[in-house]
A and B are shown apart, each in its own frame.
Chain A
Amino acid sequence: MRIKKTSGEKVFTAFNILFMIIMIIMTLYPMLYVLFASVSDSDAIMRYTGPLLKPIGFTLAAYKRVFQYPMVLRSLVNSIIIVLMGTSINIFMTSLGAYVLSRKHFYIKNAMMVLIVITMYFSGGLVPQYLNVKELGMLDTYWAIIIPGAISTWNLIIMRTSFLSIPDSLEESAKLDGAKHIDILFKIVIPLAMPTIAVMILFYGVGHWNSWFSAMIYLKTRDKFPMQLILREILILNDTSSGGMQGNSTIDDVQKIGETIKYALIIVATVPILVVYPFLQKYFVNGVMIGALKE
């Protein structure tokens, strides 16, 4: 249907588009700023105040330096290990849970659902959770970061909703062919629910990549620290030396290059997310979240 616009509506549309453009600039500018600063000349950046519209000079020195520091590389590797291990366990456990909860004939299904939903409203709190992990002997291991959060109840419910939409007839015919539940889950249900699984991989994976708090409270050995913890030391605690940044440079040198290294590190830590984002973005059709809310 075509609707003729009144002049008031035209003015509104113009303002709306202007507003959206401002939104885009405000959202992207801080990231652009970091990108510009990371490739700028470090002396110039130290002296410069105010918004950057383009890099001052151009040098990749900061990036070269970032990768020279052993702690940075090490923590990057650690983060990748945590993301891979953590996300695999998340997806495995969440799909198992979603599978049993989405079966039509399963006597204890509702009781289980109650048990699970309660945890969305109540938790033991920080200290009891910490003590629990400690008692289980998981302190200073990656298990402490990965296992307690193996299932996010919210994601479990989203996945269950998507499993419910898969027709029962598929399960029944597979059963007639002698398939076991595990086969049905991995060969029929998961491939059919792939769009949702992809979103879950995104949520869990990004969550692991970005997480720092549990690593901070559970890990003691520096060599095990993930990227975000090192980043925190440098960005938040403003402590360039503690990042294993001594290298062979003088303190002055570190401080000078510290400013641009900060930005280069932010880029290094954020690029993986920017890389997966467009691929997975097409999957988070609005259905994913709304489906769960309707439950």
Chain B
Amino acid sequence: MMNQKNLKIQSPKNEYETYHINTRKARVIQNIKKDFKANRELYYISFIIIAYYLIFCYKPMLGAVIAFKDYVPMKGIWKSQWVGFKYFRDFFQSPYFVRLIRNTIWLSLNSLIFGFPAPIILALLINEIGNKFFKRSIQTITYLPHFISMVVICGIIKDFTSDTGVINYFISALGGKPVTMLSVPKLFMPVYVISGIWQEVGWGSIIYLAALTGIDPQLYEASYMDGANRWKQTIYITLPGIAPTIIILFILRMGSLLNVGFEKILLLYNPGIYETADVISTYVYRKGLLEFNWGFSTAVGLLNSVINFFFLIAANTISRKVNDTSLW
């Protein structure tokens, strides 16, 4: 059986260790054997699921070793030559290194600063609405953009920001000069961030609205008796009530700090604004799948993941120390 093969005993170092490993492993194997007899069907189902994860998630993870290899498709991944950290050095020395890191962090940071609080504010405001029907309508409507395809959204963004588009109509009405915004490097960040908020603010507020319903109404009643107005209630009851949710989402967000909206940038940018719009993930795509620099592209992607993971750990550690809320 497959499960037994996986658990083959490794060569032990000394007799003492042999004894312990053997008994522990033997116990595990015995338990699995017993369980297998009782739940044969469950095991068959889980083999399908495990196989899926091994083939489509873990195999590509192993495949990422081509970041350290001169990958030649004919030879395959394992027979290709090792090149060590060559691609990483290449990337650090490349003229695009600074630009890519700068753009990625700049876009991401601005999305974080403006995009992260937006759903919280929206949720707090929706929460203040008394009329149930109005409340539901606004929720339904603001969730909608989340479900519209990125291609359509970007098509609309392109249309609205073009020199004859709606946004420029207002700009020229206010005395400004109409420009095709997506061809001006310095305007890419605002277009990206603002359209991002438009797309996701409603959907992002769901989770906070759910957290808001979990706050004990008695707290509000009691504070009202003590003379707190709605502003004070928001500061002293509502915000502390949803703080754990905010923190968890913030930590998760830190873990994808360098994952900017890759598909969206790919659809919106053009060589004329690479200066501000090209980010690590779009560079990985062009290098890897358009220019076939497999190893180099993988190395850059790997670096991206490592930095992300570092931020996740850092945010989680800080949060655990400061206020006892953490992912693990």
A interface list, Cβ under 8 A from B: 1, 3, 6, 8-9, 12-13, 16-17, 19-20, 23-24, 26-28, 30-31, 33-34, 49-51, 93, 96-97, 99-100, 103, 105-108, 112, 115-116, 119, 121-132, 136, 147-148, 150-151, 180-182, 206, 209-210, 212-213, 217, 228, 231-232, 235-236, 262, 266, 269-270, 273, 277-278, 281, 284, 286-287, 289-290, 293
Among B276-307, those with CB < 8 Å from A are: 281, 284-285, 288-289, 294, 297-298, 301-302, 305
Partner of B305, one of A19, A125, A231, A266: A125
**Nearest Cβ on chain A to B147's Cβ, whole angstroms:** 5
Q: Find chain B residues with CB under 8 A from A99 CB.
A: 45
Docked pose: A34 CA to B158 CA in angstroms: 13
Given contacts A121-B255, A281-B140, contact A181 B284 (CB under 8 A): no
Docked pose: A54 CA to B250 CA in angstroms: 42
Tell me the dominant secondary structure on chain A's binding face.
Answer: helix
Establish whether residues B198 and A26, one from each chain, have CB atoms under 8 Å apart when the complex forms.
Answer: yes
Establish whether residues A132 and B59, one from each chain, have CB atoms under 8 Å apart when the complex forms.
Answer: yes
Docked pose: A97 CA to B77 CA in angstroms: 30
Docked pose: A34 CA to B156 CA in angstroms: 8
Most A CB contacts (10 A, CB to CB) among B60, B77, B140 go to B60
Interface string of B120-149 (1 = CB under 8 A from A): 001001101110001001101111110111
Partner of B63, one of A124, A231, A262: A124
Given contacts A93-B52, A96-B45, contact A28 B166 (CB under 8 A): no
Establish whether residues B141 and A277, one from each chain, have CB atoms under 8 Å apart when the complex forms.
Answer: no
Docked pose: A97 CA to B52 CA in angstroms: 10
Q: Find chain A residues with CB under 8 A from B191 CB.
A: none
B107 an interface residue at 8 Å Cβ cutoff? Answer: no
Q: Can you add 9 more A-B contacts, CB < 8 Å, to A27-B145, A34-B156, A124-B61? A: A20-B125, A23-B138, A30-B160, A126-B288, A132-B63, A228-B149, A231-B149, A270-B152, A286-B209
Docked pose: A213 CA to B263 CA in angstroms: 7
Partner of B309, one of A13, A121, A232, A270: A121
Establish whether residues A231 and B301, one from each chain, have CB atoms under 8 Å apart when the complex forms.
Answer: no
Given contacts A93-B49, A126-B301, contact A121 B166 (CB under 8 A): no
A-B residue pairs, 5 tightest by C-beta: A124-B60, A235-B155, A128-B63, A286-B210, A210-B149
Establish whether residues B302 and A151, one from each chain, have CB atoms under 8 Å apart when the complex forms.
Answer: no
Docked pose: A20 CA to B205 CA in angstroms: 14
B109 an interface residue at 8 Å Cβ cutoff? Answer: no
Given contacts A27-B202, A289-B206, contact A20 B134 (CB under 8 A): yes
Q: Find chain B residues with CB under 8 A from A24 CB.
A: 137-138, 141-142
Partner of A17, one of B129, B152, B202, B302: B129
B interface list, Cβ under 8 A from A: 3, 31-32, 35, 38-39, 41-43, 45-46, 48-50, 52-53, 55-64, 66, 77, 122, 125-126, 128-130, 134, 137-138, 140-145, 147-152, 154-156, 158-160, 164-166, 168-169, 198, 202, 206-207, 209-211, 213, 221, 224, 229-230, 245, 248, 255, 263, 266-267, 281, 284-285, 288-289, 294, 297-298, 301-302, 305, 309, 312
Partner of B56, one of A132, A181, A182: A132
Establish whether residues B52 and A151, one from each chain, have CB atoms under 8 Å apart when the complex forms.
Answer: yes
Establish whether residues B53 and A115, one from each chain, have CB atoms under 8 Å apart when the complex forms.
Answer: yes
Most B CB contacts (10 A, CB to CB) among A106, A124, A147 go to A124
Docked pose: A106 CA to B62 CA in angstroms: 29
Q: Find chain B residues with CB under 8 A from A287 CB.
A: 210
Q: Find chain A residues with CB under 8 A from B49 CB.
A: 93, 96-97, 100, 112, 116, 151
Q: Find chain B residues with CB under 8 A from A12 CB.
A: 128, 230
Establish whether residues B152 and A180, one from each chain, have CB atoms under 8 Å apart when the complex forms.
Answer: no
Docked pose: A30 CA to B140 CA in angstroms: 16
Partner of A115, one of B43, B50, B143: B50
**Nearest Cβ on chain B to A86's Cβ, whole angstroms:** 14
Q: Find chain A residues with CB under 8 A from B130 CB.
A: 13
Measured CB to CB, the nearest residue on chain B to A92 is B48
Given contacts A9-B229, A107-B32, contact A147 B56 (CB under 8 A): yes
Establish whether residues A128 and B60, one from each chain, have CB atoms under 8 Å apart when the complex forms.
Answer: yes
A-B contact pairs, 17 of them (CB 8 A): A20-B126, A23-B142, A27-B141, A51-B166, A107-B35, A124-B59, A126-B284, A127-B297, A128-B61, A147-B56, A212-B151, A213-B266, A228-B149, A235-B152, A236-B267, A286-B209, A293-B245
Q: Find chain A residues with CB under 8 A from B142 CB.
A: 23-24, 27
Establish whether residues A293 and B248, one from each chain, have CB atoms under 8 Å apart when the complex forms.
Answer: yes
Establish whether residues A131 and B50, one from each chain, have CB atoms under 8 Å apart when the complex forms.
Answer: no
Partner of A206, one of B57, B122, B147: B147
Given contacts A115-B53, A286-B206, contact A181 B45 (CB under 8 A): yes
Establish whether residues B48 and A181, one from each chain, have CB atoms under 8 Å apart when the complex forms.
Answer: no
Most A CB contacts (10 A, CB to CB) among B213, B230, B284, B302 go to B230
Docked pose: A136 CA to B142 CA in angstroms: 41
**Nearest Cβ on chain A to B35's Cβ, whole angstroms:** 4
